[in-house]
Amino acid sequence: MLVLVAPGQGAQSPGFLTPWLDLPGAEDRLRSWSAALDLDLVHYGTKADADEIRDTAVAQPLLVAAGLLSAGALRDIVGDRAGAVAGHSVGEITAAVYAGVLGEEAALGFVRTRGLAMAEAAGITPTGMAALLGGDPEVTLPHLEKLGLTPANVNGAGQIVAAGTLEQLAALEADKPAGVRRVVALKVAGAFHTEHMAPAVARLAEAAGKLDVSDPVLPYVSNKDGQTVSTGAEVVARLVGQVANPVRWDLCMETFTERGVTAMVELCPGGTLTGIAKRALPGVRTLALKTPADLDAAREIVAEHAA
């Protein structure tokens, strides 16, 4: 069984979209989306430096646009034969498009609102996120609670990302949970997927009310609890609430296993989720779409693993 996944914020890197513009019609699509969003996706995906694309209001629509470009190329190969689709954080919006819940333009407008709203919320209080390397979740999670931190991403394979105020993160650095080797600050603008993002929820709810929504045509696995969601209305409701609640990617992978996953393809800019899968899903074949050259390997995987 083949699973298609889309990465979240932090997966972008300078120039990562450049090779994708060689695909027929790709640059025209990007320029059309750029005009609709009032955001130069071509510039940010090809020429902007790391600081420019770290901006939440830029990174989120850029990642969804990249996912949609690669998904369009992959759809010609996979069609609707994927056994499940999912995304990590903002990647859930990309997955919602592939599953048929949202149209491309609607999804890009929604993620533009999401990025702006989350950037504004992040400006209220100085906050951040940090990855914990090593440790046992049964020890780490109570320790984070003691410090007032939120386990914003529980990614599986022992990987947890904590989020909170800069003071709380400094306390974590000084008082690491037993077994944690290092605490690595992430280059993000705020404490995503925590109560600090609550101001963004109301703006997203208003935007969601204007969306044209359809029920998913493929099994859609949600970050909230790893469950498969069967209605478009519920998918969108979860997309709204997701910004202020933890990402449970570990539970998503449990669902993949229950459904019999044998292969995973990660949309552009791939690498993060397949890296986790290599540790958490032994025996599952993985492919990260980094450039269009990876599409040949995707054809091979689809031939062997798609339904």
Instruction: For the chain, give the secondary structure using H, E and C.
Output: CEEEEECCCCCCCCCCCHHHHHCCCHHHHHHHHHHHHCCCHHHHHHCCCHHHHHCHHHHHHHHHHHHHHHHHHHHHHHCCCCCEEEECCCHHHHHHHHCCCCCHHHHHHHHHHHHHHHHHHHCCCCEEEEEEEECCHHHHHHHHHHCCCEEEEEEECCEEEEEEEHHHHHHHHHCCCCCEEEEEECCCCCCCCCHHHHHHHHHHHHHHCCCCCCCCCCCEECCCCCCEECCHHHHHHHHHHHCCCCECHHHHHHHHHHCCCCEEEECCCCCHHHHHHHHHCCCCEEEECCCHHHHHHHHHHHHHHCC
Q: Inform me whether the pLDDT recorded for 274 exceeds 90.
A: yes
pLDDT exceeds cutoff 80 at 225? yes
Range with the lowest mean pLDDT among 26-40, 72-86, 100-114, 225-239? 72-86
Look at residue 51 in the predicted model and tell me its pLDDT. Answer: 93
Whether residue 158 is predicted with pLDDT greater than 90 in this model: the reply is no
pLDDT confidence bin for 189, thresholds 50/70/90? confident
User: How is the chain split into domains, by residue range?
Assistant: 2-122+194-305, 127-185
Q: Domain 2-122+194-305 falls in which CATH fold?
A: Malonyl-Coenzyme A Acyl Carrier Protein; domain 2 (3.40.366)
Q: pLDDT tens across 60-106, in order?
A: 999 999 999 999 999 889 988 999 999 999 999 999 999 999 999 99
Choices 3.90.1580.10, 3.30.70.250, 3.30.365.10, 1.10.10.10: CATH for 127-185: 3.30.70.250
Asked if the model's pLDDT at residue 229 lies above 80, the reply is yes
Q: pTM of the predicted model, to two decimals?
A: 0.95
What amino acid positions are annotated as catalytic residues?
Answer: 89, 193
- Would the pLDDT of 238 be above 90? yes
Mean of per-residue pLDDT scores for the chain: 96
Confidence check: pLDDT of 272 > 90: yes
